[in-house]
Structure 1
Amino acid sequence: MFDAVVVGARCAGAATALLLARQGHRVLIVDQAHFPSDVRLSTHLVWHAGVDLLDRWGLLPTLQASGCPLLTDFALDMGGLVLQGQPPGTRVGAAMAPRRVVLDQVLLDAAVAAGAELREGVTFEDVLREQESAEGRVCGIRGRLQDGQPVQFEARVVVGADGTHSPLARAVGARELVRHGKDEGSYNVYAYFSGLPVDAVEFHSRPERMAYAWHTHHGQTLVGMILPGRSPRVPLAEVEAMFMGELATHAPSLAERVRNAQRESDWTAASVGSHCREATGAGWALVGDAGVTVDPITAAGITLALRDAELLSGLLHEGLRHEGLLGQRTLDAALADFGPQRDVVSRPLHQFAQDMAQLQVPPPEMVNVFMALAGNQAQIDRYFGVFGQTVTPAEFFDPTNLQAILSGAAAASADPV
């Protein structure tokens, strides 16, 4: 009997297992992959709130030693306005973009070092239930090894960290609270380049287009272009010509640097749907993309996964620690608390990303706000903080705050000095 079985050994699952194991719980991690294992469909940006967690868990030095730089400067080019700043209220004061083959392995190694058990090559098939009914409490999983041998593991709680198409979420009947199809979000095209100088994490925002660039491992730079999900797709052989044409039109300075750089990877062109599922039920919980998949335009996914892991592991620790004294209802209460607390952060960021993914021209009132940000460094930093997850969308876009931005700009323009 394990305290927890975690299905999925990538960043959300490995982090959850790491934190539970460090708190003294017996944890099993299962995954159908063998590690190290990469994830191609990821722009792998970890925002400030996520880097702060990695630092607090003692993993940041290992990631830096792997050759992944800290990203401390940020620039948003909106055409007639360029904003530069840093999110406020951070521990490390930086983001980073580790390749997933490195990040996931660092978290997984730390989880195993903390005492978690890892079983690779296990394909999840279904959950075990205390009663043979769809309503019975989940008490473990059954699966199959690569040679076809069936296996099953019992646990007090099962955590699904098995991605956006989560088989575990289907097995437990997790309801979808929100769903947006691929055409309702963004369409992302990107590749890796060497010899491409970037002084900051760059965003170039234009109507129906968003270009971006940031440093990752091996001295390489990830460069991408985001279009509306409803945009027509082009054959893979034509992706590079399309990309360079779009980049030259919307971000010519970046396009020039890309032309002088060396592409080091194939092109990736993809769109994903987004959703928010219910977070928990009797004996189970979902973390990371299994619970909330956010449109990639804000690159919020990994940071939210790490936040999920810390929140859930803390609640489960209290529930498991007191379960023997106070009965099963303590663990049930811990599980029930996870969804509401997760959604305080995740649901607004999910909607913020979905709104951004439309890539529409801001309404006139918001154009006025962005223009009023010029010269107001504290508020510029707070806007970057919405992405860095140190400032909530509700805090920045609160009408009182927006009015303060406009009033500050008006006062500055009226100042004769």
Structure 2
Amino acid sequence: MTESQGRYDVVVIGAGPSGSVAATLLANYGHRVLILERQHFPRFSIGESLLPQSMEFLEQAGLLQAVVEAGFQYKNGAAFCRGTEHDQFDFRKKFSDGWGTTYQVQRGQFDKILADSAGQRGVEIRYGQTVTAIEQLETSIVIDVSPEEGTPYRVAADFLLDGSGFGRVLPRLLNLEKASCLGSRVALFTHVEDNIRDSRFDRNKILITVHPSNPEIWYWLIPFSNGRSSVGVVLPRALFDDAIMAEQPTLQRYIDEGGMLSEILANALFDTPVGKLDGYSCDVARLYGERFALLGNAGEFLDPVFSSGVTIALKSATLAAAAVHRQLNGLQPDWEQEYAIPLKVGIDTFRVFVEGWYDGRLQDVIFSDNKSEPVKAMISSVLAGYAWDRRNPYVSEPARLSTLAELCRR
């Protein structure tokens, strides 16, 4: 028999960045919050190169100090390589106001820091819990939970937030999933003892490298503060055959083809199994409904190329927490105007940049020899996560990227 285990103001599915930040903000408001997390922390996750805009959201929730004190790798920008072409964007030289530096983080440690800090703020967190169903009642939403140990149970809440990431719990349970407009791709990745001695590599920046002969293939190299790095390759789905291609040799073969990247990693020790993320781009029919909202990757995930995932997740948590707080206080927030539309401003900006990366427009801008410094500062702002700053012409009108690409090609 399923037992009832009380009622909360808010239940959050997932203790990742979006869930922990939303829960902390709501606990700061004085609400009773429960997080249900399927896994146990620390646990491995990718999305390790944060953007400076994220620092503002962590600061709002009161979580920044714990992150700063953790000793993560300092990050001040992004470097790009395509054959013999190189450029870098210093995020401190950007158009938008705000943070210009951030960190490269091992997500197991980073996510646990956020979750532990949420717990210290009064959020109740239960690990090893799988949400199996929900029931929307007139005055509450009821969540069915299957724990790793013990009897299945139900909890009730005034509001439910889904921060389950790629688990996408509510989109599956409520049939909200829809195909992404972005192409299907595969990411292969691992952690290495990097042993990098190459002076061309700046550990304060993520390195994004384009494959020498196929511009749709690209690599990331994210250095950590302990002499290790995250390295991955992103391929069009058509280039990866599950039946005949194993992850480890495929990743290493592509790294060997990576030009300067292969030289930088010449002494790397590949000591960790290779992971795969397949067909990761996703979308939903809507971001909210009666007594629920979707956060971060549970709503929409674009692509790892500009490390936008955590930033979008934290922005969604900040917007949603404010709207939920108003609703719990008896007000009637306009979820379309206060949550969906503002969130999509940044998502749509990043989407144009992702599309521009794969069709070559943004690559031609990045590797242009004749960029003006003011325009470069505007592009740098978007790459730093300030995709909601409507003062930036490439946010207010992202289609300007096509015109800029044409000018750079000339």
Q: What TM-score does the superposition give when structure 2 sets the normalisation length?
A: 0.83
The 3 A distance-change label for structure 1 pair 303 and 369 is closer
Once the 2 structures are TM-superposed, how far is the Cα of residue 405 of structure 1 from its aligned partner?
9.2
Please, which of 218, 239, 264 is the counterpart of residue 257 of structure 1? 264
Task: Describe how 1:144-293 pairs up with structure 2 within 5 A.
Answer: 144-173=146-175, 175-176=176-177, 178-179=179-180, 184-197=184-197, 198-199=201-202, 200-206=205-211, 207-233=215-241, 239-252=247-260, 254-277=261-284, 278-293=286-301
Hey, which of these two has a bigger chunk of helix by percent? 1
TM-superposition CA deviations, 1:171-216 (whole Å, max 9, x none): 334x3354358x7234334432232253132112242321221212
Please name the residue that 1:111 is paired with.
Answer: 118
Q: 2:381 matched to which residue of 1?
A: 385
Q: How far 1:280 moved relative to its partner?
A: 0.6
Q: 1:97 to 1:90 in 2, by over 3 A?
A: farther
**Structure 1 residues 164, 24: CA separation in 2 closer, same or farther (over 3 Å shift)?**
same
Deviations 1:250-275 (A, max 9, x none): 323x3123121323422223323322
Aligned alpha-carbon RMSD (Å): 3.1
State the one-letter code of the partner of 1:192: V
What is the rounded CA distance, in whole Å, between the counterparts of 2:44 and 2:161 in structure 1? 20
Gaps of 5+ in 1: 132-136, 411-417
Residue number among 334, 347, 370 corresponding to 1:374 in the alignment: 370
* Distance in 1 of aligned mates of 2:404 and 2:129: 55
Distance in 1, Cα, partners of 2:403 & 2:337: 35
Match of 1:15 among 10, 21, 39: 21
Could you list the per-position Cα deviations for residues 76-108 of structure 1 after superposition, in whole angstroms to 9, with x for gaps in the alignment? 123353222223235331232211211211111
Instruction: Go from structure 1 to structure 2 and tell me whether the alpha carbon gap of 1:335 and 1:406 turns closer, same or farther (over 3 Å shift).
Output: closer
Amino acid of the residue matched to residue 293 of structure 1? F
Q: 2:9 aligned with 1:3, yes or no?
A: yes
State the SS of the aligned residue for 1:147: coil
Call closer, same or farther: CA 1:130–1:225 in 2, change over 3 Å: closer
- Name the structure 1 match of 2:310: 302
Is the alpha carbon distance of 1:147 and 1:406 closer, same or farther for their aligned partners in structure 2, counting shifts above 3 Å? Answer: closer
Give, in angstroms, the shift of residue 15 of structure 1: 1.0
Q: For residues 316-351 of structure 1, what are the alpha-carbon distances to aligned partners after superposition, in whole Å with 9 as ceiling and x for unaligned?
A: 112222x1xx5xxx15x3477322222222234245
Match of 1:134? none
Q: Deviations over 1:100-158 (max 9, x none)?
A: 21121111122112211122222212113225xxxxx7523121232341221111111
Aligned residue identity for 2:106: R
1:368/1:121 CA distance change after superposition, 3 Å: closer
Rg: which structure is higher?
1
Q: Which residue of 2 aligns with 1:95?
A: 102
Q: In 1, Cα distance between the equivalents of 2:144 and 2:185? A: 35
Deviation at 1:229, TM superposition (A): 2.1
Tell me, in whole angstroms, the C-alpha distance in 2 between the residues paired with 1:316 and 1:373. Answer: 48
Closer, same or farther: CA 281–33 of 1 in aligned 2, 3 Å: same
Query: Alpha carbons of 1:270 and 1:261: their partners in 2 closer, same or farther (altered >3 Å)?
Result: same
CA offset at residue 404 of structure 1?
11
| Corresponding residue number in structure 1 for 2:3 | none
- Structure 2 residue matching 1:262: 3-state secondary structure: coil
Instruction: Give the equivalent residue in structure 1 for 2:354.
Output: 353
The verdict on how the C-alpha distance between 1:127 and 1:187 changes in structure 2, with shifts beyond 3 A counting, is same
Q: Secondary structure at the match of 1:390?
A: coil
Secondary structure of the 2:257 match is helix
Residues 1:382 and 1:248: Cα distance change in structure 2 (over 3 Å): farther
Query: Structure 1's 184 and 355: CA in aligned 2 closer, same or farther, altered over 3 A?
Result: farther
TM-score using structure 1 length: 0.81
Change (3 A) 1:204 1:28: same
- What SS class does the counterpart of residue 167 from structure 2 fall into? coil
The AA in structure 2 aligned to 1:187 is: A
Q: CA deviation at 1:6?
A: 0.6
Once residues 104 and 367 of structure 1 are traced to their aligned partners in structure 2, the CA distance between those partners, rounded to angstroms, is 32
Is the CA contact (8 Å cut-off) linking 1:205 and 1:211 kept in structure 2?
A: yes
Give the match for residue 340 of structure 1: 341
Residue of structure 2 equivalent to 1:142: 144
- The code of the aligned residue for 1:130 comes to L
1:226 is paired with a residue whose SS is strand
Residue in structure 1 matching 2:85, options 81, 88, 91: 81
How far off is 1:220 after superposition? 1.2
Deviation at 1:402, TM superposition (A): 4.1
Distance 2:242 2:109 in 1: 31
> What is the aligned length?
387
Contact preservation (8 Å) 2:27, 2:122: yes
- Counterpart amino acid of 1:77? C
The percent identity for this pair of structures is: 21
Counterpart code for 2:289: G
